[in-house]
Amino acid sequence: MLLLAIAACGQVSPTGPPSTAVTAPTSPAADVTRPPGLVGLIALIGPPGDLRLVRLVNGTPAPLVLPLSRPAWVSGDSARGLVLTDRDGTLRVARPFGSSGASGPQPTWTTRRLVLRGGVRLHHPLSFAILSADGSRIAAIADDPAEGVGSGQLVVVETRSGAAAATRHARR
């Protein structure tokens, strides 16, 4: 089984329709400077136990640095930064690292520890974290897809500080 988690996608051309991306680029001006036909995409690819992070530039994959962890999901782009969700629910963030071509700069990863507000606790690990359009917040769901259970808690995290708010009432 091949797993592909899409992080970000640009337009096929400056005048073409937007792609069907998980998260869209935040700066239309950046897309205008791309040569026609150039597609910038960041994705986790490979079998579930051996995922690799790549930047696809005009169809050519270029490896990007992954933290030593068990990645499950990635969101964002090189202009906003990235958020990676590990299989155990750990969030890792990379600040913006430039949108150059295949040989561009690499992300630098930091583990984001959550500081939950108001005495709320999470009933399950985080999964499917996505980065906001401006890169300042992360939204994730507390559940355990591998076990088919979840609390349904929505968690919003400040990207820089780790300050987090979560819904109190969860399904059990």
For the beta sheet containing 52-57, the strands, ordered from the edge strand earlier in sequence to the opposite edge, are: 3-9, 40-46, 52-57, 60-64
What's the pLDDT at 24? 39
- Note the pTM of the prediction, 2 decimals: 0.72
Closest listed residue to residue 60, CA positions, set 91, 37, 86, 30: 37
What's the pLDDT at 40? 66
pLDDT tens-digit map of 101-129: 667 789 999 999 999 988 788 888 898 99
Residue 37's identity, in one-letter code, is G
Higher pLDDT, residue 32 or 99: 99
Give the model's confidence band at 170: pLDDT under 50 very low, under 70 low, under 90 confident, else very high: very low
| Dihedral (CA of 38, 159, 168, 150) sign | positive
pLDDT tens-digit map of 37-86: 455 688 999 988 889 999 887 777 889 999 988 999 999 988 889 999 99
Return the H-helix or E-strand segment holding 74. Answer: strand 71-77
Cα-based angle 95, 97, 102 (whole degrees, multiple of 5): 145
